[in-house]
A and B are shown apart, each in its own frame.
Chain A
Amino acid sequence: MSGVQSRVSPSPWVTSRATLVASWLRTRAVLREWTLPPTLKFSGLGRFGEVLGAQCLAPRETLIVMSHLKQQKVKMLEVQFVGDDDVLNHILDKEEGAKFRKDRAQVLVNVKKLMKKQENDQDEDDQDDLKDENYVDILGADSQEYLKNGCVASGGNKVYSFQTRKKPEKMAELAYEIAKTSGKSVPLICKNTEKMASTPQSSKKQSTSEKDQLKSDEKNEFLSTPYRLRKRLTAVSTFPSDTESEYSDSNSEDDKGIKQEEEKISEVLMDQKRLTKHSSLSSSSCKKVSAKKMKKDTTTDLVEEYFEAHSSSKVLTSDRTLQKLKRTKLDQQTLHNLLSKFSPPFSAELKQLNEQYERLFHKWMLQLHLGFNIVLYGLGSKKELLEKFRASMLQDSVHVVINGFFPGITVKSILNSITEEILEHMGTFRSVLDQLDWIINRFKDDSSLELFLLIHNLDSQMLRGDKSQQILGQLSSLPKIYLIASIDHINAPLMWDHSKQSLYNWLWYETTTYRPYTEETSYENSLLVQQCGTLALSSLIHVFRSLTPNARGIFRLLIKYQLENEENPSYIGLSFQDFYQQCREAFLVNSDLTLRAQLTEFRDHKLLRTKKGTDGVEYLLIPIDTGTLSDFLEKEDKEA
């Protein structure tokens, strides 16, 4: 991003950059507001591309100082040596667009004037930026994926927003790139030439994206645009300074694209030799060269980028939601079923990896006995591995397996299972620390006691707290308690300071298994997985059936009332008095005491929540989502 800007006006801008970023952002926000709607309006048309191009160019021309306009034109003239009709077309297009958009841009200028008297050079920045935006837009438009996305959701401006400039589209692009690389290694040149030979590829892309387009009711009329767009791109891409490279690698990738397109245009002039040379350069060494040249710059760039991205609270990404995709949330069961149909690849290699780790079992045992504790890290679930370890080595010894990923686990429960089941102590303890002291003393007194602790996910939500880690550390520092644990989180080692580390006395073992974290993630409230759907329903039915008919009636009343108020966003529950009245009318209770007794039962089953409102009245609410409730009612009605 920064690179692209400094390309046009390098020195003055770079120095005053930090101060400008903020105000610049503001102006951009305004610009975007005004430039967006038309894009959407025209998205259905076949000439979307042209409109888009025009839209991007328009504000620049009308907006700002004349000198820049001139400059712009000079640049466009420079391009003309390519000299074919398409370029002419392009320029015409642009002018057309400019005319078309004139009034819109005028408004924009007004707004800007109203907002603030901008300094001249800042305008320049804005302009430069627009240029860049344009430039990247067109670059993005190169891949048809862009068009698809653009149509579905929003204009290019939105997608190629400031912070994320290349990002969201980049993902799609990258997806294509990765998709392209077949399993067998493809030589570099091939890859590039493939990219250049755009026609067959584009048709392929088109076909893959066809379905989605149809789904989102978009017309396929812009099939012809890419070619023209590409032409336009070449025109823009001959910005005088595109050889200068002080960009983070993502930008140099952009560069790469331009260069390739450039080459495509002047193909005739170029001999094969240079082509190969260039393509190899652009693909791999380009990054390295620029990185080497601007090593310092890239690091500062990275820092600056970080602050740029985090300075504004607004992050611009596309607005598409899963709902539009018409893909319902899966629940755990279906997810599990679906995944069981898919067999993971590379089973031979995975097995080999696992065997490699299994060979370490004896060593682990030895090291555990010698006072070390073992922690396993690396990608992939280590549960299976530890399970195997347990099965093969710990059959004859006392051990406790702790599933740290289980959401209900606490240190207390771990200590309880040690004291109650291993040490067979039936008393209770005042605090966790007392319990720990007791355990430590027991182990000190009785030298024949030995205990293996296996903890899956020592870094889980419940165990990662400072106190829990301290207690587990103290436990593991006992010479006769052997701890073997696994960690997964990238920041897991931050849990331990020096003193905790010395308590744990870790030996680290890398065990990258690539196994799916099936169990570990099944408890997580993943955003894509529908929680509590069927399960809540089944438990609801279960509890409901055990109720007396009167209680059922009471509960049904409450459900119905809640469903009736489904639409009301300020609904906080049914007040107790109203509910009592309703129940009386339905002959379900005869006094508010009986009603309260019933409610207590519901509350015990977590079917009811009471809340005091602002007026001091008690409100009753069923903490289950409406979908489940209506399902439940349906089912019950059917059975009745």
Chain B
Amino acid sequence: MQKMAATLGFLSVDCLVSFHIKKNYRKFQGLISFLIFSADYFNEGESLSEDSKLRFDTCQLLWQQMKSEAEELQEELNKNLFDKLIEFLEKSHLEFRKKSTNWNYQIKSREIPTAALVLGVNVTDHDLTFKGLTAMLRDTITPYVVSLQAKECPDVKHLLQKLASQVMGCHIDMESTEEEEEECVQLSQKKMHYSMAFLSTWYRNVTQKKGSESVNKKITSSSQWKKSPPIVIILKDIESFSTKVLQDFIIISSQYLHQLPIVLVLGIATSPIIIHRLLPHAVSFLCIELLQSLSCKEHLAKLLDKLLLTTRFPFKLNEKALQVLINIFLYHDFSVQNFIKGLQLAILEHFYSQPLSILCCDLPEVKRRIHSLSEDQCESIRRLPSFMRYVEKQTPEKQVASLTNERFLKGRMERKSLSLHIYHENFFIVLKCLHAFTSSLPKYPLGRQIRELYCACLEKNIWESQEYEPALQLLRMLAKDELMAILHKCVEVFRSSPGKQLGSTAEKLKEFLAQFQSLEESNEEENGSGSQQKGLQKTDLYHLQKSLLEMKELRSSNKKQTKFEVQRDKVVDMIDNLVRKYLFPPDTQTLYEVVYFTGAHTLREHLNAAPRIALHTALNNPYHYLKNQALKSEDDSIPNVAPDICIAYKLHLECSRLINVVDWSEAFATVVTAAEETDPNSTASEEIKEIIHARFIRAVSELELLGFIKPTKQKTDHVARLTWGGC
């Protein structure tokens, strides 16, 4: 093969290594210099201007901030889970720690303490959780944390090998200053026959030594662990382990349980039942405690709250872009990490494609930057659609001034960016309040999650949507305790927000709350007085009906609103007013383009691509890519001048499972000869025919490469189709 390629003059080297830089790697110190290097690529290859460098730095800074915020959030959310886990670990092996020689215990201790972590289907996020878990366990409980993945452990031997090397590796890390390091390294490199027995002897040696020396600097939290830290084995993806391996491993380790304090942590993506299904026999050796992690949807909601529904970060997504990211999350992977990745891409794209994104930064910084804007940048600001709209609304003198006078423009800009900031502040407070109100309504007319409401508000005036009016109607029917709970929530929202806008509204809310509380007291009195009605006297049916009707009429006419109802209407009216006042969609705001990323299609293209559709379009409709009039066609047909592969593809669509190559090649030749526009009567020269045949061969082998057909032995000179129907 290799020789063959060589004779054809093809590149036959499979791996080609280039050494243009000898050993002269550029050395970079940390993040900053690295960023400068990448910034070279930021400006479409043109020489790096000060401006684009600044833009890139802003982008990176913003991203780093958002990323650390997201990580913090993750940690915070995991904390609960980890705390429970640690508690569990401390409970387990209590007896072992006491070195009890109790016979009873030794019999009982066949059960391995096991924590089953149900982590959900978003497998991508698990790694991060486990990483955090490992780090935390190492810091607080034991140096012996082993994490195993199914793909590393095709059989028990590999599993034990991996286990032992990791346990001992940990040990090395712990005492890297001591001499025995050498010894250990040698041990692990020799890859001697690992077994549980070997491991337990090693463990006894190590713990005894430690017991005498008691040199364990890192672990200080719980003194009782010093003597015999447990060995925590994390099986990251329990579902992909083979039953046999797991079963054997569990049985073996249960035998050694009185020598080795083993704790299992199982990562489960589906449901806890999987343990029983995987380990029908060995499950009796496990003492399982179930731990549930936070659902990924809640995680996402928290993340949105931290990163987007806040004025802390100036960067925002418009409705479509946000929708794309959320859809990928909901319909594809439930992975928060991927969502963050999408966000990163959005930030990058925004700063890359929008030159004015230089102003997408903190408020004080914006002011500074506005003043140092160059003339070109001013010009591009004037061309912003949102700014043009703003200018049109001004008086003529001001219009002229903002279009000609740079200083005037900058002044305006400053004011406008401030107002954009304030707009956002109000927007998010009101949004959260509205969400507090509507999230508990039956059937959730405005969405259950805040992200749905947010998307709706970003898209258009929320009060013009169909669902808004019914939602208000429902609000007017809330019971008092519900309403009060909501009001408490709203007050909380106001309190937690940093802005000082809307202070009066907050006051008003509190007032309402107080009034409701006072109502409660007065209500009781009212109830006491007017509760009893005169009982119905014994009459005939006719009279009874009549009196009942009367009573009904009386009640409906008398149905004047109680105090509570009046108050409730006031509250609803207030929230309605707030919504109408503050929940404009952002694209009405001036300088909207600076902070909002609008390239939804870029996100979809790069994150959620459809390669098959692209292939299909390229094959079916070459005009889509090659803008040549000759390739244009109205319906499904393609013109005969289309690229060879398109013609061959189109012809092959007409066949069912098998394709006769001869028929195919003749059909192909027919099309191609017609395209050449040679006179069909003149006998085409043999050479042209040969060339056409060669082109056909190439088209066929290309289709084979693309996976549309494959050679088959079912019939001579046939190929099998691998797709069905018209795609």
Q: Which residues of A contact B (CB under 8 A)?
A: 149, 163-164, 166-168, 170-172, 174-185, 188, 204, 207-208, 211-212, 283-284, 302, 306, 309-310, 315, 317-325, 327, 330, 332-336, 338-339, 341-342, 344-346, 348-350, 352-353, 359, 361-363, 365-367, 369-370, 372, 377-380, 390, 394-403, 406-409, 413-414, 417, 421-422, 430, 433, 447-450, 467, 470, 487-493, 497-499, 501-502, 505, 507-510, 512, 514, 516-529, 532, 535, 538-539
Q: Given A178-B647, A338-B690, A490-B611, do A164 and B707 touch, yes or no (CB 8 Å)?
A: no
Q: Does B578 contact A (CB under 8 A)?
A: no
Across the interface, which residues of A come within 8 angstroms of B683, CB to CB? 211
Find residues 597-622 in chain B having any chain A CB closer than 8 Å to their own CB: 605-609, 611-612, 614-615, 618-619, 622
B348 is contacted by which of A370, A430, A522, A538 (Cβ under 8 Å)?
A370
B625 is contacted by which of A336, A492, A512, A535 (Cβ under 8 Å)?
A512
Asked whether, in the complex, the Cβ of B705 is within 8 Å of the Cβ of A520, the reply is yes
Binary A-proximity of B707-720 (CB < 8 A = 1, otherwise 0): 11001001111110
A361 is contacted by which of B45, B122, B664, B696 (Cβ under 8 Å)?
B45
Q: Given A175-B667, A509-B606, do A183 and B630 touch, yes or no (CB 8 Å)?
A: yes
How far, in whole Å, are A345 and B4 apart by their CA atoms in the complex? 29
Least CB distance, A356 to chain B, in whole angstroms: 10
Interface centre among A166, A170, A521 (most CB of B within 10 A): A521
Asked whether, in the complex, the Cβ of A208 is within 8 Å of the Cβ of B704, the reply is no
Asked whether, in the complex, the Cβ of B615 is within 8 Å of the Cβ of A379, the reply is yes
Q: Given A171-B667, A400-B16, A402-B15, do A362 and B45 touch, yes or no (CB 8 Å)?
A: yes
How far, in whole Å, are A527 and B34 apart by their CA atoms in the complex? 51
Interface centre among B124, B333, B629, B705 (most CB of A within 10 A): B705
Least CB distance, A26 to chain B, in whole angstroms: 19
Q: Which of B106-114, B379-387, B654-662 contacts A (4 or more CB under 8 A)?
A: B654-662
Asked whether, in the complex, the Cβ of A335 is within 8 Å of the Cβ of B609, the reply is no
Across the interface, which residues of B come within 8 angstroms of A490, CB to CB? 611-612, 615, 706-708, 723
Asked whether, in the complex, the Cβ of A171 is within 8 Å of the Cβ of B651, the reply is yes
Asked whether, in the complex, the Cβ of B697 is within 8 Å of the Cβ of A499, the reply is no
Binary A-proximity of B655-692 (CB < 8 A = 1, otherwise 0): 11111111111111011011100001101000100110
Across the interface, which residues of A come within 8 angstroms of B348, CB to CB? 366-367, 370
Interface centre among A283, A370, A390, A520 (most CB of B within 10 A): A370
B707 is contacted by which of A188, A430, A491 (Cβ under 8 Å)?
A491
In chain B, what residue has the closest Cβ to A359? B44
Across the interface, which residues of A come within 8 angstroms of B34, CB to CB? 369
A sample of 20 more A-B contacts (CB under 8 A), given A330-B697, A517-B701, is A149-B663, A163-B657, A164-B655, A171-B663, A176-B670, A327-B693, A335-B697, A338-B690, A338-B691, A349-B625, A378-B611, A400-B16, A406-B5, A408-B14, A409-B15, A447-B28, A490-B707, A493-B612, A519-B11, A521-B701
Q: Given A318-B663, A363-B41, do A529 and B671 touch, yes or no (CB 8 Å)?
A: no
Across the interface, which residues of B come within 8 angstroms of A284, CB to CB? 634-635
Q: Does B2 contact A (CB under 8 A)?
A: yes
A-B contact pairs, 21 of them (CB 8 A): A163-B656, A168-B655, A168-B660, A168-B663, A174-B654, A175-B651, A176-B670, A178-B638, A181-B640, A208-B670, A362-B44, A370-B38, A378-B611, A398-B21, A400-B16, A401-B17, A417-B17, A493-B612, A514-B626, A521-B702, A524-B705
Asked whether, in the complex, the Cβ of A369 is within 8 Å of the Cβ of B38, the reply is yes
Across the interface, which residues of A come within 8 angstroms of B634, CB to CB? 185, 188, 284
Least CB distance, B312 to chain A, in whole angstroms: 22
Across the interface, which residues of A come within 8 angstroms of B705, CB to CB? 488-489, 517, 520-521, 524
Q: Does B546 contact A (CB under 8 A)?
A: no
How far, in whole Å, are A482 and B629 apart by their CA atoms in the complex? 40
Asked whether, in the complex, the Cβ of A174 is within 8 Å of the Cβ of B645, the reply is no
Q: Given A179-B670, A350-B626, do A529 and B701 touch, yes or no (CB 8 Å)?
A: yes
Asked whether, in the complex, the Cβ of B697 is within 8 Å of the Cβ of A528, the reply is yes
Across the interface, which residues of A come within 8 angstroms of B725, CB to CB? 302, 306
Across the interface, which residues of B come within 8 angstroms of A508, CB to CB? 605-609, 611
In chain A, what residue has the closest Cβ to B23? A424
Q: Which residues of B contact A (CB under 8 A)?
A: 1-5, 7-8, 10-21, 25-28, 34, 37-38, 40-45, 122-124, 127, 151-152, 191, 333, 335, 337-338, 341, 344-345, 348, 352, 605-609, 611-612, 614-615, 618-619, 622, 625-635, 637-641, 643, 645, 647, 650-652, 654-668, 670-671, 673-675, 680-681, 683, 687, 690-691, 693-698, 700-702, 704-708, 711, 714-719, 723-725
Asked whether, in the complex, the Cβ of B717 is within 8 Å of the Cβ of A321, the reply is yes
Across the interface, which residues of A come within 8 angstroms of B20, CB to CB? 394-398
Asked whether, in the complex, the Cβ of A325 is within 8 Å of the Cβ of B700, the reply is no
Across the interface, which residues of B come within 8 angstroms of A524, CB to CB? 701, 704-705
Least CB distance, A162 to chain B, in whole angstroms: 10
In chain B, what residue has the closest Cβ to A205? B680
How far, in whole Å, are A402 and B11 apart by their CA atoms in the complex? 11
How far, in whole Å, are A338 and B595 apart by their CA atoms in the complex? 57
How far, in whole Å, are A507 and B609 apart by their CA atoms in the complex? 9
How far, in whole Å, are A379 and B642 apart by their CA atoms in the complex? 14
In chain B, what residue has the closest Cβ to A177? B637
A336 is contacted by which of B8, B43, B664 (Cβ under 8 Å)?
B8
Across the interface, which residues of A come within 8 angstroms of B618, CB to CB? 378-380, 512, 514
Across the interface, which residues of B come within 8 angstroms of A207, CB to CB? 680-681
Asked whether, in the complex, the Cβ of A512 is within 8 Å of the Cβ of B614, the reply is yes
Interface centre among B3, B43, B657 (most CB of A within 10 A): B657
Least CB distance, B616 to chain A, in whole angstroms: 9
Asked whether, in the complex, the Cβ of A414 is within 8 Å of the Cβ of B15, the reply is yes
Across the interface, which residues of B come within 8 angstroms of A181, CB to CB? 633, 637, 639-640
In chain A, what residue has the closest Cβ to B19? A398
Across the interface, which residues of A come within 8 angstroms of B37, CB to CB? 369
Across the interface, which residues of A come within 8 angstroms of B707, CB to CB? 489-491
A400 is contacted by which of B15, B657, B715 (Cβ under 8 Å)?
B15
In chain A, what residue has the closest Cβ to B604? A508
Across the interface, which residues of A come within 8 angstroms of B635, CB to CB? 283-284
Asked whether, in the complex, the Cβ of B671 is within 8 Å of the Cβ of A178, the reply is yes
How far, in whole Å, are A334 and B662 apart by their CA atoms in the complex? 20
How far, in whole Å, are A346 and B645 apart by their CA atoms in the complex? 14
In chain A, what residue has the closest Cβ to B45? A362
Across the interface, which residues of A come within 8 angstroms of B41, CB to CB? 362-363, 365-366, 369
Asked whether, in the complex, the Cβ of B667 is within 8 Å of the Cβ of A332, the reply is no
Asked whether, in the complex, the Cβ of B609 is within 8 Å of the Cβ of A322, the reply is no
Asked whether, in the complex, the Cβ of A332 is within 8 Å of the Cβ of B670, the reply is no
In chain A, what residue has the closest Cβ to B659? A317
Least CB distance, A51 to chain B, in whole angstroms: 23
Asked whether, in the complex, the Cβ of B715 is within 8 Å of the Cβ of A398, the reply is no
Least CB distance, B357 to chain A, in whole angstroms: 15
Q: Given A207-B680, A378-B615, A408-B14, do A315 and B639 touch, yes or no (CB 8 Å)?
A: no
Least CB distance, A537 to chain B, in whole angstroms: 12
Across the interface, which residues of A come within 8 angstroms of B18, CB to CB? 390, 394, 398-401
Asked whether, in the complex, the Cβ of B640 is within 8 Å of the Cβ of A174, the reply is no
In chain A, what residue has the closest Cβ to B609? A508
A320 is contacted by which of B26, B629, B660, B701 (Cβ under 8 Å)?
B660
Asked whether, in the complex, the Cβ of B680 is within 8 Å of the Cβ of A208, the reply is yes
Across the interface, which residues of A come within 8 angstroms of B667, CB to CB? 171-172, 174-175
